[in-house]
Amino acid sequence: MSTETIDPGDTVVPESADVPRAAETTATLPPAFDVAAVRARFSALTDDGFTYFDAPAGSQVPDEVGDAIARQMREGSGNIGGYYPLSDELSALVDAARERTAAFLGGDAANIVLGGSMTTVNFALTRAAARGFSAGDEIIVTRLDHEGSVAPWNELAIDRGFVVKVANLTDDLLIDLDHLRSLVTDRTRVIAFPLAANTVGSIAQAREIADIAHSVGAISWVDAVHYAAHRAIDARAIRADVILCSAYKFCGPHLGMAHVEPGVANEWRAYKVAARALDPLGARFETGTLPYEQLAGLIATYDYLDSIGGFAAIAPYEEMLAAHLLATLPPEVRVLGPALVDRVPTFLLTINGLSAESIARSLAERDIGVWKHTFAYEVGMPEALPEGADPIRVGIAHYNTVEEIDRLAAALAEIAAARL
């Protein structure tokens, strides 16, 4: 793919947008980001002409990550705790994975929890935390939450008699802080929310929400799965007591991780086998042998991100692509969601008179992959959308190009014209 640039100048956001957005944007290619060199590291991004705009469902993976996983399985499959070189190497691998993940999340290595998926880790942590709760205690979630952040609390509510409350959204699909505040009582134990919504890309007012939680002694419980693919995370800066994400959203293996603050997690009794260590803190919430080959892939993922400039390079490049998308969409396309400012490059798009399935199938026929969004994992979202909206989800990743954005916009224009 080429590394073409966009002519500098104003690009007007389409008037067809369903909610207010920035009136004007400027799209210029960050000169330091070589997207062609990036794409060359992915076998999945071949020159077969297919374009992936499905990153919120899972990103493509650079070859070096797959190579690291395979190499670890070939050369070092065993376990920690022995008195021989391979066991020592695996112990060092685990330590390195914790240290690199702590740097990625903005915390301490001792507080890192590693596991099969974000949802798996979340079920383990929610149950440990809730051992100290009582019937009638309250958990607040939001309509932007992924089901992986809501289901663990709903299931606990069934088992233990907790109350789960849902914070509504504003018209531009941000968390309604006034409504959230109105839900808080002296029985509130947790406020759980997504740092960035994997549906519309809106970024939460994380520090403010954490302060609301802490004002009543509640836990700030943050889902950073979607945000982690697009922006640098600083768990301490946003005062997250628990923050979780998944590596497969940022070009890594299927692996979940969390950072837990000792001030809240030290007193939790973990669901664990007796042989599992109590120290470091994060390890006590890991229920069995870690997937060492996945940890090798995780470290390779961090190396990959660092090698392309990290989020200091990724974020402005993706912001440019997002601005270009909004500037080039045909007028028949409605964009559901917040302003371009304070969002990651994920969009819900609709075309009046066409179902999401028909749009997604038509794009697939043109070698463009998007998501026909059914909200199976965002069960609170449909009630917040305009009546009759049946959107597709377009998710931009740092390996997408301006040329691909142009292809998408042209394809949507063809699809919209064909309905008439």
Summarised one tens digit per residue, pLDDT across range 203-246 is: 999 999 999 999 999 999 999 999 999 999 999 999 999 999 99
Amino acid (one-letter) located at 304: Y
Q: Exposed, middle or buried by CB within 10 Å (0-12, 13-18, 19+), for 8?
A: exposed
pLDDT at residue 342, as a whole number: 78
pTM beyond 0.85: the answer is: yes
Query: According to DSSP H, which parts of 248-291 are helical?
Result: 262-265
pLDDT band at residue 31 using 50, 70 and 90 as cut-offs? low
- Quick one: average pLDDT of 337-352? 85
Going by DSSP bridges, is the β-strand pair 242-246/51-52 parallel, antiparallel, or unpaired? unpaired
Span 169-213, pLDDT tens digits:
988 888 999 999 999 999 999 999 999 999 999 999 999 999 999
Span 267-292, pLDDT tens digits:
999 987 765 667 899 999 998 889 99
pLDDT exceeds 60 at position 24: no
Whether the CA torsion 171, 177, 182, 185 is positive or negative: it is positive
Whether the CA torsion 246, 249, 250, 254 is positive or negative: it is positive
Span 69-92, pLDDT tens digits:
999 999 888 888 888 889 899 999
pLDDT at residue 276, as a whole number: 60
Angle at 57 between CA 53 and CA 62, to 5 degrees: 70
pLDDT exceeds 50 at position 396: yes
Q: Report how far residue 151's alpha carbon sits from residue 99's, in angstroms, rounded to the nearest whole number.
A: 30
Question: 3-state SS of 199-259?
Answer: CCCEECCHHHHHHHHHCCCCEEEEECCCHHHCCCCCCCCCCCCEEEEEHHHCCCCCCEEEE
384 and 143 Cβ atoms separated by less than 8 Å: yes
Q: What is the mean pLDDT of the chain?
A: 88
DSSP lists the bridge partners of residue 115 as: 256
Among the listed residues 101, 80, 98, 99, the one whose alpha carbon sits nearest the alpha carbon of residue 89 = 80
Q: Report how far residue 286's alpha carbon sits from residue 272's, in angstroms, rounded to the nearest whole number.
A: 7
- Report the SS3 class of residue 140: strand
Domain chopping of the chain, boundaries: 10-53+309-418, 65-305
Among the listed residues 324, 328, 330, the one whose alpha carbon sits nearest the alpha carbon of residue 412 = 330
Distance of alpha carbon 370 from the chain centroid? 17
Homologous superfamily, domain 10-53+309-418: Aspartate Aminotransferase, domain 1 (3.90.1150.10)
DSSP lists the bridge partners of residue 80 as: none
- Report the SS3 class of residue 134: coil
Domains 10-53+309-418 and 65-305 share a fold: no
Q: Report how far residue 256's alpha carbon sits from residue 265's, in angstroms, rounded to the nearest whole number.
A: 18
E strands along 87-149, which residues?
Answer: 112-115, 138-142
Rg of the Cα atoms in the chain:
22
pLDDT exceeds 80 at position 36: yes
Angle at 19 between CA 15 and CA 24, to 5 degrees: 50
Q: Does the domain formed by 65-305 have CATH 2.60.40.10?
A: no
Residue 196 is classified by DSSP as: B
